Amino acid sequence: MQDLLILGGGIVGAGVARDAAMRGLRVTLLERRTVGWGTSSRSSRLIHGGIRYLEMGDIALVHEALAERATLLKIAPRLVHPIPFLFVLERGAWWQWFRIGIGVMLYRLLAHRHALGPHHPLSRAALLRHEPLLANAPLLGGAIYQDARCDDIGLVWSTITNAQRHGARIIEECDADVRVDGEEIVATLPSGQVIRARSLVIAAGPWTDAVRTKVGLRDRRLVGGTKGVHITFPLSRVPLTNALALRHPDDNRVMFCIPEPEHDRVVVGTTDTESTESPDALTVEADDVAYLLRAVQHLFPTLGLSLADIRDRWAGLRPLLRQEGSASGRSREHKILREGRTLTIAGGKLTTYRAMAEEAVDLLGEVLGQELPPCRTAEELL
Ligand SMILES: Cc1cc2nc3c(=O)[nH]c(=O)nc-3n(C[C@H](O)[C@H](O)[C@H](O)COP(=O)(O)OP(=O)(O)OC[C@H]3O[C@@H](n4cnc5c(N)ncnc54)[C@H](O)[C@@H]3O)c2cc1C
């Protein structure tokens, strides 16, 4: 008998497996495809408080995420690295320049003792000294602030490997039939093997609602995905030396251009649009690519960039908490729903996965009626 069965091997399921195994629970994680195949390998790879969430007034989320940024920099130094960002502002209202200056300073204040480096406004001339490639952009000025980036799929694999080292069993390519049978969770694997467990965690990202229905839980529309598309250019076509945050000229949304010299490319993203596509068959639509390309053409008018310069493109579905309002205005907060011996984890971000897992395993102690040792995932290296 297992203490815990986890459905979903993205970063959240991996985090729960690691935390629970470290606290001595017998854990089996089932992943329908391969670990990290879902959203967790299609992110912008930012380990960040989210400077744009400040605009949405999500101060508590930014504060928590900045604390998690510090924790991940500490426990995963091979995978998570600090990175300075230049926030680029177009010619326009001067108050915007003051606003972004105040924004980055607030960001630094919220990071408190974990702040990583300079956060202040930059004049146009100062911005160009940092990034000469912006010379022909219609610039007002900008600001410098600090964040971190990671290898997202590497973070999933390391977390899974660490969970295995603590005794967790991971089964991939496994679409099991899972039933809640009174006090027991019963999973029948395609091989016919039966696994019984005392508790269940559903950590299925954008598949959450479908998995809940499959398991026989009450139909609830918890997750409302928005699609995010990224495109890349060879570094030789966009020889950018700094990561940029910018506002899209069409709709003022914040987006990023991030050089990745290790992959000889610049990543541009992302979109944030309502989607009804299945997470199993996401498409990169021509409109999304054109939208991202327009922003880069606007920023670097003399580079003559066209569709032919795009090297890769991919799409992911954000497993956001379902709520009313515009797609990009949706909160990145998470929710853990407890129903008997089952926990469903919905929402959240790559950045906050460890804290989400800690909260879920703390709750599992109550579900199992067992006093668990304290969480150690913020101390032990990945
Ligand atoms: C475009 C984009 C950019 C993003 N950028 C960032 C960023 O820069 N920083 C950040 O912090 N966050 C970012 N996010 C959010 C972050 O990527 C997600 O919040 C996170 O990866 C979700 O992880 P997860 O484990 O919940 O879901 P997933 O990674 O999707 O994992 C769910 C897993 O469940 C599996 N599954 C489905 N059904 C079953 C079943 N029946 N049985 C077993 N397994 C099943 C799937 O195969 C999948 O592997 C971004 C998201 C997107 C889409």
Q: Tell me the pLDDT tens digit for each residue of 81-93.
A: 999 999 999 877 6
Q: What would the mean pLDDT of 203-207 be, rounded to a whole number?
A: 97
CA–centroid distance, residue 336 to ligand 1 (Å): 16
CA–centroid distance, residue 131 to ligand 1 (Å): 33
| Integer Cα distance of 67 and 171 in angstroms | 32
What sign has the CA pseudo-torsion 149, 151, 153, 158? negative
| Integer Cα distance of 88 and 239 in angstroms | 17
Ligand 1 binding pocket mutation candidate from 41, 207, 208 (most atoms within 8 A of CB): 207
116 lines ligand 1 (CB under 6 A): no
41 lines ligand 1 (CB under 6 A): no
Q: What would the mean pLDDT of 100-120 be, rounded to a whole number?
A: 91
CA–centroid distance, residue 350 to ligand 1 (Å): 8
292 lines ligand 1 (CB under 6 A): no
11 lines ligand 1 (CB under 6 A): yes
178 lines ligand 1 (CB under 6 A): no
The CATH number given to 4-40+153-221+330-368 is 3.50.50.60
Q: What would the mean pLDDT of 266-276 be, rounded to a whole number?
A: 94
The CATH number given to 62-148+224-329 is 3.30.9.10
Q: Which of 17-21, 126-130, 197-201, 317-321 has the lowest mean pLDDT?
A: 317-321
CA nearest to 27, candidates 368, 376, 329, 371: 368
pLDDT surpasses 80 at 71:
yes
Task: Parse the chain into domains and list their residue ranges.
Answer: 4-40+153-221+330-368, 62-148+224-329
Residues 6 or more apart whose Cβ sits within 8 Å of residue 120: 101, 104, 105, 143, 144
Percent of the chain scoring above 90 in pLDDT: 84
CA–centroid distance, residue 183 to ligand 1 (Å): 29
Ligand 1 binding pocket mutation candidate from 43, 160, 344, 352 (most atoms within 8 A of CB): 43
CA–centroid distance, residue 278 to ligand 1 (Å): 14
pLDDT tens digits, one per residue of 336-346: 999 999 999 99
225 lines ligand 1 (CB under 6 A): no
Our CA angle for 278, 328, 280, nearest 5°, is: 15
- pLDDT computed for residue 325 by the predictor: 58
Q: Are 147 and 69 in contact (CB under 8 A)?
A: yes
CA–centroid distance, residue 85 to ligand 1 (Å): 25
CA–centroid distance, residue 39 to ligand 1 (Å): 3
Alpha carbons within 13 angstroms on the beta-carbon side of residue 125 total 0
Q: What would the mean pLDDT of 166-192 be, rounded to a whole number?
A: 95
Q: What would the mean pLDDT of 274-303 be, rounded to a whole number?
A: 95
Please provide residue 100's backbone torsions phi and psi, each rounded to the nearest 5 degrees. -70, -35
DSSP per position, 63-107: HHHHHHHHHHHHH-TTTEEEEEEEEEEESS-HHHHHHHHHHHHHH
| Integer Cα distance of 347 and 209 in angstroms | 12
Ligand 1 binding pocket mutation candidate from 318, 328, 330, 331 (most atoms within 8 A of CB): 318
Q: What would the mean pLDDT of 313-325 be, rounded to a whole number?
A: 86
Q: How far apart are the first and last CA of the chain?
A: 28
| Integer Cα distance of 343 and 340 in angstroms | 8
pLDDT surpasses 70 at 329:
no
227 lines ligand 1 (CB under 6 A): no
- pLDDT computed for residue 113 by the predictor: 84
pLDDT surpasses 60 at 328:
no
